Homo-oligomer: A and B are copies of this chain.
C-alpha cells in the first residue's frame, strides 16, 4: 500500500533539481505542483504539523480530530490526501489508525523550493 502512496514524493526527489537552479521541465513541474497542492490547505498543514510535533512524529487519528474543530469524515479525507501524496504513513493498530511522518518527504519538497 505504502509503495504507491509515497510514489509522488520519491519520484520527486529522484527527478527534480531545485527550481532556482535550472529551468524546470514540464514533467518535473507537474510532479512538484501535485505535491504542493496536497500541502496547500490549512487543515492539511495543521494535521501534518500536529503529527510531526508529536512524540516520535506519530499520532493516533483519535488525537487529530478535536484540535482542528472539523468533522471526523473531513479529517479522514485530509489525512487520505496526505497519505496518497506520500507525506504521511498510515498504520492500523487495534481500534485506531496511527499516522506518522514519512521520513524526508517534507525535506524533499523544501529542498526543491530552496533558493540557496
Interface residues of A (CB under 8 A from B): 19-24, 26, 29-30, 32-33, 36-37, 39-46, 48-50, 52-53, 57, 67, 101, 104, 106-107, 109-111, 113-116
Q: Which residue of B lies closest to A40 (CB)?
A: B36
User: Interface majority SS on A: helix, strand, loop or mixed?
Assistant: helix
Query: Please, which residues of chain B bring their CB within 8 A of the CB of A20?
Result: 48-49, 52-53, 57, 101, 106
Is there an interface contact between B19 and A49, defined as CB atoms closer than 8 Å?
yes
CA distance A114 to B49 in the complex (A): 11
B21, B37, B39, B106: the one within 8 Å of A115 (CB): B106
Tell me, rounded to whole Å, the shortest Cβ–Cβ distance linking A82 to chain B: 12
| Supplied contacts A20-B52, A20-B57, A29-B49, 17 more A-B pairs, CB within 8 Å | A19-B49, A20-B49, A23-B50, A32-B45, A33-B39, A33-B41, A33-B42, A36-B45, A37-B37, A40-B40, A52-B115, A101-B115, A106-B115, A107-B113, A107-B114, A110-B113, A111-B114
